């Protein structure tokens, strides 16, 4: 079989399938395998899978297992709510950890090498088509390759997605700046690396946490771009970064000089699509469900996709080694789109909640302060075991309307 795309999702899928005894060929468009970016958060629904793959101990060693996740108001720095991540690990059985994206990518690459995946670079796929007994991909140089099944993990701008829907990426008008700083000295040395912290503010937020065993402080600054809202092509520039955070507290503004200012990431997602399979071609990862990043599930969903495929292959492999691929793809199609639709919708809603101003901001702050630290109603649907069948998918949480904030608490917050 063929997997298209050598990012975290593609490598995860290739490993999940190769460990089930399948011959897997992975086609990567770049001339070398690598991953761009900085930190990534891995919730228990992902570390559970890494443990199944035998990779969790390595991930722990290369990352940081924090004690708490804390949300603060970016304007005044006050704490709004927190998760006790050690208690969370006891609840779900697996840790919440943070790791450098390139370290996770390299771990999966090495796992694929050990499993015998054929890893090919400089193979840009420009077309997909069904065949009588499988699927065919066309490369940019005109060559073609065929397989019984093709898994398209070809990202936000997926070519394969055109087989199931005619749509385009959706701009959020938000842009992210990232930066990593050694913790040996300076401001980074004063930050508590036992915490993952997000400062939420009007039209902006800042996230920070440790990486590589605490050697680095990872920071992400995100803001809504006025130029994007105005329709300008040149948006998200460093001058907009500085202007967006003018009204935030000293700590938040103090992190901006550590951002990489020569590169920024414009934030796109796509509307959910409920059909991921066309014949013998299946979408995976951002090709199927590119999210906004607010609940930190993008790479996790891609890893879950591959694990689910691998589990259904194991269930549907006959004694002679043959795989009932129509049944595997049907099972994948039955369970993954609805879960990921929920994640995409929740990510958008959470981003709106983070960036409120005025009365809605004060209502949000009241509700978050009243939340019990050990109330897991909002994450049980997300952090539990990855569903293999639709009946295993847990119910969603019940949203709490902003208008339900106590008026007496609102009066106190105004003073």
Q: What's the Cα-to-Cα distance from 289 to each of 52, 275, 301, 339, rounded to whole Å?
A: 24, 11, 8, 10
Q: Could you say which of 53, 209, 294, 332 is catalytic? A: 209
Name the burial class of residue 307, with classes exposed (0-12), middle (13-18) and buried (19+) by CB atoms within 10 angstroms of its CB. buried
What is the average pLDDT across 44-61? Answer: 98
What is the average pLDDT across 405-413? Answer: 83
Structure tokens, 364: 């949000």
User: What is the tens place of the pLDDT at every residue in 318-356?
Assistant: 999 999 999 999 999 999 999 999 999 999 999 999 999
Q: In 10 A of CB 89, how many CB atoms? A: 16
* Confidence bin at 410 (pLDDT 50/70/90): confident
**53 part of the active site:** no
Residues composing the chain: 415
pLDDT of residue 335: 98
pLDDT of residue 244: 98
103 in Cβ contact with 218 (< 8 Å): no
pLDDT of residue 36: 76
Paired residues of 269 in beta bridges: 170
* Confidence bin at 409 (pLDDT 50/70/90): confident
70 in Cβ contact with 242 (< 8 Å): no
252 in Cβ contact with 212 (< 8 Å): no
Q: In 10 A of CB 17, how many CB atoms? A: 26
Measure CA 169 to chain center.
16
* Confidence bin at 219 (pLDDT 50/70/90): very high
User: What is the tens place of the pLDDT at every residue in 171-202?
Assistant: 999 999 999 999 999 999 999 999 999 999 99
Mean pLDDT of the chain: 96
* Confidence bin at 303 (pLDDT 50/70/90): very high
């Amino acid at each position: 079989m063929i997997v298209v795309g050598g990012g975290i999702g593609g490598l995860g899928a290739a490993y999940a399938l190769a460990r089930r005894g399948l011959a897997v060929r992975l086609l990567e468009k770049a001339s070398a395998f690598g991953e761009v970016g900085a930190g990534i958060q891995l919730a228990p629904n992902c570390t559970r899978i890494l443990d199944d793959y035998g990779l969790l101990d390595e991930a722990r060693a290369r990352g940081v297992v924090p004690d708490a996740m804390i949300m603060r108001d970016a304007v005044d720095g006050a704490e709004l709510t927190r998760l006790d991540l050690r208690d969370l690990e006891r609840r779900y059985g697996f840790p919440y950890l943070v790791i450098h994206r390139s370290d996770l990518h390299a771990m999966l690459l090495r796992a694929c090498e050990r499993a015998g995946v054929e890893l090919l670079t400089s193979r840009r796929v420009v077309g997909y088509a069904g065949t009588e007994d499988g699927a065919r991909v066309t490369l940019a140089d005109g060559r073609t390759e065929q397989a019984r099944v093709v898994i398209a993990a070809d990202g936000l701008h997926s070519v394969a997605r055109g087989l199931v829907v005619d749509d385009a990426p959706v701009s959020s008008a938000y842009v992210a700046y990232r930066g990593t700083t050694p913790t040996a000295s300076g401001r980074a040395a004063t930050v508590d690396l036992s915490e993952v912290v997000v400062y939420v503010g009007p039209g902006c937020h800042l996230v920070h946490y440790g990486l590589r065993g605490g050697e680095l402080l990872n920071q992400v600054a995100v803001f809504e771009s006025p130029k994007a809202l105005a329709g300008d092509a040149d948006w998200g520039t460093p001058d907009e970064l500085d202007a967006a955070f003018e009204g935030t507290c000293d700590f938040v503004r103090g992190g901006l000089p550590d951002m990489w200012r020569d590169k920024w990431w414009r934030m796109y997602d796509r509307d959910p699509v409920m059909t991921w399979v066309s014949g013998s071609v299946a979408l995976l990862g951002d090709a199927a469900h590119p999210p906004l990043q607010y609940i930190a599930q993008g790479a996790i969903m891609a890893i879950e996709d591959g694990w689910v495929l691998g589990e259904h292959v194991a269930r549907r492999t006959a004694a002679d080694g043959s795989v009932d691929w129509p049944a595997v793809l049907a099972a994948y199609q039955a369970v993954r789109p609805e879960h990921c639709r929920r994640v995409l919708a929740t990510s958008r809603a959470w981003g709106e909640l983070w960036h409120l101003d005025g009365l809605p901001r004060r209502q949000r702050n009241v509700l978050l302060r009243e939340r019990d630290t050990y109330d897991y109603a909002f994450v049980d649907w997300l952090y539990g075991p990855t569903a293999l069948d639709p009946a295993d998918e847990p119910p969603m949480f019940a949203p709490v309307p902003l208008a339900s904030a106590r008026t007496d608490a609102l009066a106190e917050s105004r003073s």
